[in-house]
């Protein structure tokens, strides 16, 4: 084993620039991506690809600038309910949680499902119970602040009859901010992780793609690790992440594979709904999206900087 160059890539969600409250928010969002890549690379010095995606996602969950962890958006009841999933391509192990309240480090809870239970996906109350057992439970004051409540109140006031069919509203409000990471370690292991507060004003108990393996993420040694973002209902219906793996197995490069899956989704469901980040077995990084923007960053051992990109025209990788 050995001989691969440790590499990490992260994203901060695909969507429209309307997500950003001001220029400072956008600046912090992009800086957080750089910090997440650095945390991932640092983890790769002592651990494996799984440790790297965990540490990278954890940085973004704590940051507050993203729709994950502390920054998670509110659902129709004004609550935070998060989804997260992680997969290690070395043994295809998976852990995920969905519709979970009272957690900041949701990806850590997903990893606990993987390593400390015999299950793959635990939702709602059961996930919360696990959070209490492993000291990850936090009060709502860690997740909900005055800004979120004010925004929620004004959105609810103007919602009219647009709910529960609010997909267009979600796009208008600037869907963006789900976080994800993919990594390759020096032994050739691949890992992927995705964490999100989901779509704004979602129905309580709604589960998106982010905790569903094959949809919101996939990692398979020798093939690819993928993290998806966008409107979860379309991503689940397209099984976006595992389809990237299938296409690579049929001979496409990682860039061709993510382009193809995004183009299939665009043909079927229109634009403004998906973004994919992937790394192949040799450490080639690729992204594709049909939204206005997708924050993404990457670096590898030996490279002296982190490459960060936001708009479609920004150079990446
Ligand atoms: N995919 C996430 C969901 O549908 C949201 C996002 O990526 O912005 O829950």
pLDDT of residue 169: 72
Tokens read off for 165: 């069919």
CA distances from 274 to 72, 182, 234, 277 (A): 19, 17, 8, 10
pTM of the model: 0.97
Tell me if 106 CB under 6 Å of ligand 1.
no
Q: Answer yes or no: is 1 within a domain.
A: no
* Distance from the alpha carbon of residue 296 to the mean position of ligand 1, in angstroms: 15
| Atom from ligand 1 closest to the CA of residue 230 | 7
* 165 phi-psi bin (left φ>0, alpha ψ -120 to 50, beta other): beta
Asked if residue 193 is part of any domain, the answer here is yes
Residue 314 lies in a domain: no
Q: Whose CA is nearest to atom 9 of ligand 1?
A: 198
Active site residue 178: yes
3-state secondary structure of 73: coil
63 assigned to some structural domain: yes
Q: What is the CATH number of the domain that holds 294?
A: 3.60.20.30
What is the CA angle 84-232-229, rounded to 5? 70
The residue annotated as part of the active site, out of 7, 106, 178, 291, is: 178
- Are the CB atoms for 50 and 63 separated by under 8 Å? no
Contact 32 CB / ligand 1 (< 6 Å): no
pLDDT, residue 317, reads 94
> Are the C-beta atoms of 235 and 208 separated by less than 8 Å?
yes
The widest CA-to-CA distance across the chain, in whole angstroms, is 59
- Examine residue 2 and state whether it is found in any structural domain, yes or no: no
> In this structure, is residue 220 part of a structural domain?
yes
The total number of structural domains in the chain stands at 1
Q: Which residues of the chain have pLDDT under 70?
A: 1, 160-166
| Ligand 1 proximity of 197 Cβ (cutoff 6 Å) | no
Ligand 1 neighbour 273 (Cβ under 6 A)? no
């Amino acid at each position: 084993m050995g001989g691969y160059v440790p590499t990490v890539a992260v994203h901060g969600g695909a969507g429209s620039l309307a997500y950003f409250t001001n220029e400072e928010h956008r600046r912090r969002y992009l800086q957080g991506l750089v910090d997440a890549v650095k945390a991932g690379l640092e983890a790769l010095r002592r651990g494996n690809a799984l440790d790297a995606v965990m540490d990278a996602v954890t940085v973004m969950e704590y940051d507050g600038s993203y729709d994950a962890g502390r920054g998670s958006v509110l659902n129709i009841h004004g609550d935070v309910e998060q989804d997260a999933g992680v997969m290690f391509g070395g043994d295809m192990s998976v852990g995920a949680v969905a519709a979970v309240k009272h957690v900041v480090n949701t990806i850590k809870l997903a990893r606990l499902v993987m390593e400390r239970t015999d299950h793959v996906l635990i939702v709602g109350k059961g996930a919360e119970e696990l959070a209490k057992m492993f000291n990850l439970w936090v009060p709502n004051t860690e997740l909900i602040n005055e800004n979120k409540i004010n925004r929620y109140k004004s959105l609810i006031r103007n919602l009219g009859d647009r709910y529960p069919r609010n997909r267009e509203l979600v796009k208008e409000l600037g869907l963006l901010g789900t976080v994800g990471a993919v990594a390759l370690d020096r032994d050739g292991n691949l890992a992927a992780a995705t964490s999100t507060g989901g779509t704004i004003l979602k129905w309580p108990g709604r589960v998106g793609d982010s905790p569903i393996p094959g949809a919101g993420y996939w990692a398979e040694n020798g093939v690819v690790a993928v993290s998806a973002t966008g409107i979860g209902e379309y991503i689940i219906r397209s099984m976006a992440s595992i389809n990237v793996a299938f296409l690579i197995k049929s001979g496409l490069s990682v860039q061709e594979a993510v382009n193809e899956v995004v183009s299939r989704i665009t043909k079927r469901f229109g634009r403004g709904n998906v973004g994919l980040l992937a790394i192949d077995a040799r450490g080639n990084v690729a992204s594709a999206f049909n939204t206005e923007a997708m924050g993404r960053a990457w670096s590898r051992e030996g490279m002296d900087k982190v490459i960060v990109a936001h708009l479609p025209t920004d150079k990446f990788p």
